[in-house]
Structure 1
Amino acid sequence: MRDDKAAEAHAEAEACPVARSVNVIGDRWSLLIVRDAFDGMRRFSDFQRNLGMARNVLADRLRRLVEAGILDQQPASDGSAYQEYVLTPRGEELFPVVVALRQWAESHLFTQGEPHSDLVERTSGKPIPRMVPRAHDGGTLMPHDAEVRKLAGR
């Protein structure tokens, strides 16, 4: 537990945006919870059933995602005594991250013709176009076209 707190403190002090992001959503379970929230899941029991994770781990990840402002907890929409977890605007901004991970996996982790789920536009049913970073002029931005400018003194 002490190592987790030390890692969190280090990541908060870190000037790298990637390190801070990974600290919040970088573990497998958190990203899969966010993925399921995009798929419309809202209830603890639904997340647990779909992910097959231990209740205590799920409770911890949901708590952390709420604390980070990615999910919000609210009364169930059906008026029952249950609570639901819904994506906040901050959480919805993770959609391109989930899409990029999905598209990378489709390209590199499945064999030719191997079945997998498809992400399509709801209205047209057409596949989501491949996401690529764009340069200022609209062209495709490749890794060698970008650089990280470190803060002075680091």
Structure 2
Amino acid sequence: MKRKSLAGNACPIARTLDLIGDWWSLLIIRDALEGISRFSDFEKSLEIAKNMLSTRLKGLVERDILRLVPASDGSAYKEYVLTEKGRALQTVIVALSQWGGEFMFEPGESGSVMVDAQKRKPIRKLELLSADGRHLAPEDIATTSTAY
């Protein structure tokens, strides 16, 4: 079954999911944020078939999330590095990690947590704030039309 494109949808969530909505793409972005850049390292980390990884990486390059560059060590290899657009997805990855840590593990079950690389302390939970600094709950948020 062919996937329906959401690229022209008026909802920014739908458009974003059209771009990066499959789990492999988000996991590739997660790994790239952790410093993985070579095809073989993505393959090893994700335990993904080469053809699937190749398709996802190609799509992320085409969508300007990743850029293919010469290897940093001067070898003949190429590396995948995040673009500014790709790096901006870090907040999404952190939000998913924090939500998953709170709701997807049983008490006492081992998992991972994102930490400040310098201080090695967990990142403060992301919060939704209004323009004037008020904390916002789901019922405090509405959607309206705008021009970007």
> For the superposition of Structure 1 and Structure 2, which TM-score range results when normalised by the shorter chain?
over 0.9
Aligned-pair RMSD on alpha carbons?
Answer: 1.3
More helix by share: 1
Q: Within 5 Å, give how 1:1-154 maps onto structure 2.
A: 3-4=2-3, 7-8=4-5, 11-150=6-145
Distance in 2 (CA, whole Å) between partners of 1:141 and 1:29 is 31
* Secondary structure in structure 1 of the residue aligned to 2:79: strand
Note the residue ranges of structure 2 that are not aligned, 5 or more in a row: none
Moved over 2 A (4+): none
- Alpha-carbon distance, 1:125 to partner: 1.2
Any gaps of 5 or more consecutive residues in structure 1? Answer: none
Q: Please give the per-residue CA displacement for 1:100-143, whole angstroms capped at 9, x wherever unaligned.
A: 00000010001122111121111111110000111122121111
With the length of structure 2 as denominator, give the TM-score of the two structures: 0.94
Percent pairwise identity? 47
- How many residue pairs end up in the alignment? 146
SS of match in other structure, 2:86: helix
For the residue of structure 1 that corresponds to 2:19, the secondary structure is helix
Distance 1:112 1:139 in 2: 31
The separation in 2 between residues aligned to 1:57 and 1:105, in whole angstroms, is 25
What is the letter of the counterpart of residue 132 of structure 2?
D
- Give the letter aligned to residue 69 of structure 1: D
The Cα shift of 1:150 comes to 4.7
d(CA) in 2 for partners of 1:13, 1:44:
31
**Alpha carbons 2:37, 2:79 under 8 Å: kept:** yes
Q: Structure 2 CA distance, aligned partners of 1:89 and 1:13? A: 22
SS at match of 1:12: coil
- State the AA in 2 paired with 1:103: Q
